[in-house]
Structure 1
Amino acid sequence: MIGRIYLPTCIKTEYYITDTIKFSYPVVCQLVDRQVQQRMNYQIYNLMMKVISELMEPGITTYITGFYEIKTNEREVLSITLNALGDFGGAHPVNVVRSLNFNTMTGKSYKLGQLFKPDSNYIEKLSDIIKAEIKRREIPLIGKFKGIKPNQDYYIADKNLIIYFQQGEITPNYVGLPYFSIPIYDISDMIIEDNILDRMLYWL
């Protein structure tokens, strides 16, 4: 008996271009369920516009360059980031990265808090892992690290949960965006079964 075959989701590149913005973004294509495809593309486009708005400053001409990266595209999981750099003409540029993490069968995108069991105490446990990594890597902080939020930015890559913070969120601007890689297998006891993170545990 042949097992189920999981194919990568079809992605094509489109561009949002104005006098001051050039942003390449992913478009999901060729899904059997067109409503799911439309739902995913709507979320991607809306996130791109949100990233652009985060970089806009009233009364200041902002030049924005943006692109996307596919972090995971397998097992009916699509994890992508939208990366943008805002240039304010002389001032220090600002980098923003946001992500979406989809179940490609349903078109649902998951917030971090939706991946873990309600009684798992995942916020404290993940925060402790990150706190130890901050210390090990001697990452400079703006103030005391207070832990992650239920909607903390993340993506999935190489069977790792990557939790990250925006520029200036917990570290000085010159540090950029700090990323923390956590092997999914190490936190498997906290994960809700059959969600996008759980799917990465198979065939480890």
Structure 2
Amino acid sequence: MASLFQLPVQVETETVTSPGVTIYTPKLSGLRSPAVQKKLNAAFSGLTALLFNEQKKYQTGTLQEMTGHYEVKTNERGLLSLIATNYAYSAPMAHGYTVAESLTCDVNSGDFFTLSQLFKPGSGYVELLSQHVKVQLQRRKLPLLNPPFKSVWPDQNFYLADKALVLYFDLLDITPYYVGFPMFPISVYDLLPIAAEGGPLDILAVDVS
């Protein structure tokens, strides 16, 4: 495979504040295609709005604090993967609550990837990923709300981080609140046999050149 080197894209931060509220949103600049840049930035703004609205399901009292931020997990080889979170606390709730969503995209085409698109059609990726999660649950001794763990979802939340696919579950999906967001990194090398040819996992697995 030819060299995949590509400079990281420039990620700036857009900040919105009001009393008790601070929201940070990623904003790309300097992309070769203005149309792609506009599309991706619209998606990031939409992600921020989605998390804000999602919190309304949990915040039943008087809002005291809300913080929205993001972390860039991969910014290389034309791929950008990030996770955004929104934490809020309303009185008289016992504790705050956090919601999270992630996006993975091709910064050249503007395409976003679903979990299934990372793998070959008919690869049985759900079963393989579920087995990886089961092994990590046992090794890390994570408590489960409804044992035993059965399976990841076909559209399981994920992001890419260097040489790994990271699957994660929302608060209270499979583990108690105090565990936080259970995350399960899986090496891209373990997934290469079923990875889509020329897809994100395939690209990240290539050695430096």
Counterpart Cα distance in 2 of 1:88 and 1:94: 9
Shift of 1:29: 0.6
- 2:186 aligned counterpart, secondary structure: strand
1:108 aligns to 2:111 (yes or no) = yes
The C-alpha deviation readout for 1:95-148, integer Å capped at 9, x for no partner, is: 122111011111111111111112110001100110111011110011032211
Name the structure 1 match of 2:174: 170
Q: Given the alignment, which residue of 96, 103, 106 partners 1:93?
A: 96
Structure 1 stretch displaced more, 65-74 or 50-59: 50-59
Q: Which runs of 4+ in 1 moved over 2 A?
A: 2-5, 16-21, 57-63
Contact kept, 8 Å, 2:71 with 2:83, in 1: the verdict is yes
CA contact under 8 A between 2:16 and 2:24: conserved in structure 1? yes
Residues matched between the structures, number: 203
Task: Tell me how far apart the structure 1 counterparts of residues 100 and 201 of structure 2 sit (CA, whole Å).
Answer: 20
Match of 2:74 among 49, 58, 72: 72
Cα contact 1:52–1:64 (8 A) shared by 2? no
Q: Percent identity?
A: 34
Shift in CA distance, 3/158, structure 1 to aligned 2, threshold 3 Å: closer
> Aligned partners of 1:140, 1:53: CA distance in 2, in Å?
29
Q: Distance in 1 between matches of 2:41 and 2:182?
A: 28
Displacement, 1:22? 1.1
CA contact (8 A) 1:102 1:108 kept: yes
Q: Which secondary structure does the structure 1 equivalent of 2:73 belong to?
A: strand
> Which AA in structure 1 matches 2:68?
G
Partner residue, 2:24: 24
TM-superposed CA distance for 1:5, in Å, is 4.3
Partner of 1:148: 152
Taking the aligned partners of 2:4 and 2:204, their CA distance within structure 1 comes to 15
Structure 1 unaligned regions, length at least 5: none
Using the size of structure 1 for normalisation, the TM-score is 0.93
Distance in 2, matches of 1:117 and 1:34, equals 31
Instruction: Decide whether the 8 Å contact of 2:5 with 2:76 is kept in 1.
Output: no
**Contact 1:25/1:48, CA 8 A, preserved across alignment:** yes
Structure 1 residues 32 and 156: CA distance shift in structure 2, 3 A? same
- Between the aligned partners of 1:64 and 1:194, the Cα distance in structure 2 is 40
Given that residues 169 and 182 in structure 2 are in contact (C-alpha distance below 8 angstroms), is that contact kept between their aligned partners in structure 1?
A: yes
Is contact 2:62-2:92 (8 Å) kept? no
Question: Are residues 146 and 156 of structure 1, via their aligned partners in 2, closer, same or farther at CA, if it must alter by over 3 Å?
Answer: same
**What is the TM-score when the length of structure 2 is the normalising length?**
0.91
The RMSD of aligned alpha carbons is: 1.7
Asked whether the 8 Å contact 2:88–2:97 carries over to 1, the reply is yes
